[in-house]
């Protein structure tokens, strides 16, 4: 990708790449954000399943919540707008722990952190870079993977991001959800989340949520709702058609060469060797992609 296209679409803030739609002024002001004790934050590295979890929450009847746009999306006026949301707020973000507003930590807001196999995440982010006009288009998969491994992509290193939250995995106000676990046992994952959030869902509602938030249903809804600018869940685009591509587990095997897989796995082993999340991911993800 050309440095010119990269410099006009992305900017560095505290050493991490952000899209131009996250203004520096807003990022500077995040610590002035006044969190409420009943706020819910949906946190993830990009392309890890935030939209899916957001759709699930939106499909819960009488949940008494309002899904907002991401806290780092737009300019400083967006922080003011968030103050006007009357109901319990569900706020998506791709921020690392360090960049999350200080009042969120002080008030111990409920945080749902969504993790996905980093190889699938890398493939999904590669397509997102190619299709999203807010991001510079990579020349090749190999070139993009190199950037991903160096953390020279939006929101920085996947490893640094996950590890920043991993330290707080056992805090009472933090719940880790694994994308692959949701695919394996959707109902169990949703029961875990609704119980954590203190929201009751009966079995018939659970069945309806499962139908409404199937990948094909969400993809077709994205086409219908794409014209609604208030339905922005991703800090990288308001175009919902860009968000849903395949939604499968193990697609990375169609992209990684044996050498790329070996390099990636070595880095994963090195970076995640002391991490609870690293151990959990190995349980959910078949490393051979079969």
Q: CATH number of the domain at 224, please.
A: 3.40.50.300
Mean pLDDT of 134-143: 94
Query: How far, in Å, CA of 148 to CA of 157, rounded?
Result: 7
Instruction: List Cβ neighbours of 59 (8 Å cut-off, separation of 6 or more).
Output: 208, 209, 212, 213
Q: Is residue 166 part of a domain?
A: yes
Q: Residues with Cβ < 8 Å from 216, sequence gap 6 or more?
A: none
User: Is residue 110 left, alpha or beta, with left meaning phi > 0 and alpha meaning psi from -120 to 50?
Assistant: beta
Domain housing 205: 3-284
CB 95 within 8 Å of CB 43: yes
pLDDT band at 287 (very low <50, low <70, confident <90, very high): very low
Query: Tell me, what DSSP letter sits at residue 253?
Result: G
- Dihedral sign, CA of 97, 82, 19, 232? positive
Q: What percent of the chain has pLDDT over 90?
A: 68
The mean per-residue pLDDT over the stretch 251-267 comes to: 95
User: How many of the other CB atoms lie within 10 Å of CB of 232?
Assistant: 20
How would you classify residue 177: left for phi > 0, otherwise alpha for psi between -120 and 50, otherwise beta? beta
- 119: pLDDT strictly greater than 50: yes
Q: Cβ neighbours of residue 204 under 8 Å, at least 6 residues apart?
A: none
Please give the torsion angle defined by the CA atoms of residues 90, 201, 51 and 171, in that order, rounded to the nearest 10 degrees. 60
Using alpha carbons, select from 86, 55, 102 the residue that is nearest to residue 234: 55
Contact (CB, 8 A) for 132 and 237: yes
Give the least confident one: 45-59, 144-158, 205-219, 269-283.
205-219
Residue 59 lies in a domain: yes
> What is the C-alpha separation between 112 and 110, in angstroms, rounded?
7
Active site residues: 94
Determine which of 93-102, 234-243, 276-285 has the lowest per-residue pLDDT on average.
234-243
Q: What share of the chain is helix, strand, coil (3-state, %, to 5)?
A: 50, 10, 40
Instruction: Check whether 6 has a pLDDT greater than 80.
Output: no
Q: Does residue 185 carry a pLDDT above 70?
A: yes
Burial of 173 (0-12, 13-18, 19+ CB in 10 A): middle
pLDDT at 290: 40
Reported pTM: 0.89
Tell me the C-alpha distance between 125 and 113, whole Å.
Answer: 18
Res. 228: pLDDT tops 80 = no
The answer as to whether 264 is a domain residue is yes
> What's the domain count of the chain?
1
Share of the chain above pLDDT 70, in %: 84
Examine residue 259 and state whether it is found in any structural domain, yes or no: yes
How many alpha carbons lie under 13 Å from residue 94 in its C-beta half-sphere? 24
Residue 290 lies in a domain: no
Q: Residue 289: inside a domain, yes or no?
A: no
- Reported as a single tens digit per residue, the pLDDT across 80-113 is 999 999 999 999 999 999 999 999 999 999 999 9
Who contacts 180 (Cβ-Cβ below 8 Å, separation ≥6)?
Answer: 116, 117, 249, 281, 284, 285
């Amino acid at each position: 990708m050309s440095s010119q296209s990269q410099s006009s679409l992305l900017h560095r803030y505290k050493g991490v790449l952000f899209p131009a739609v996250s203004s520096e002024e807003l990022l500077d002001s995040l610590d002035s954000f006044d969190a409420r004790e009943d706020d819910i934050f949906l946190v993830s590295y990009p392309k890890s399943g935030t939209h899916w979890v957001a759709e699930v929450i939106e499909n819960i009847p009488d949940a008494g919540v309002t899904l907002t746009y991401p806290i780092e999306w737009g300019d400083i006026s967006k922080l003011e707008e968030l103050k006007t949301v009357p109901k319990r707020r569900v706020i998506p973000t791709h921020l690392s722990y360090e960049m999350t507003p200080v009042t969120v930590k002080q008030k111990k807001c409920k945080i749902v952190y969504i993790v996905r196999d980093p190889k699938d995440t890398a493939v999904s982010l590669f397509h997102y870079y190619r299709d999203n006009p807010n991001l510079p288009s990579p020349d090749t998969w190999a070139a993009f993977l190199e950037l991903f491994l160096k953390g020279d992509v939006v929101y920085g290193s996947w490893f640094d991001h996950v590890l920043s939250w991993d330290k707080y995995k056992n805090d009472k106000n933090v719940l880790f959800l694994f994308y692959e676990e949701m695919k394996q046992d959707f109902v169990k994952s949703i029961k875990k989340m609704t119980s954590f959030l203190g929201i009751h869902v009966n079995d018939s509602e659970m069945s309806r949520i499962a139908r409404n938030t199937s990948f094909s249903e969400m993809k077709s809804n994205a086409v219908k709702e794409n014209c609604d600018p208030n339905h922005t869940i991703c800090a990288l685009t308001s175009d919902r058609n860009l968000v849903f591509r395949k939604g499968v587990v193990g697609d990375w095997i169609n992209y990684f060469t044996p050498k790329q897989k070996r390099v990636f796995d070595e880095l994963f082993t090195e970076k995640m060797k002391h991490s609870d999340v690293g151990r959990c991911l190995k349980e959910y993800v078949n490393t051979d992609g079969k």
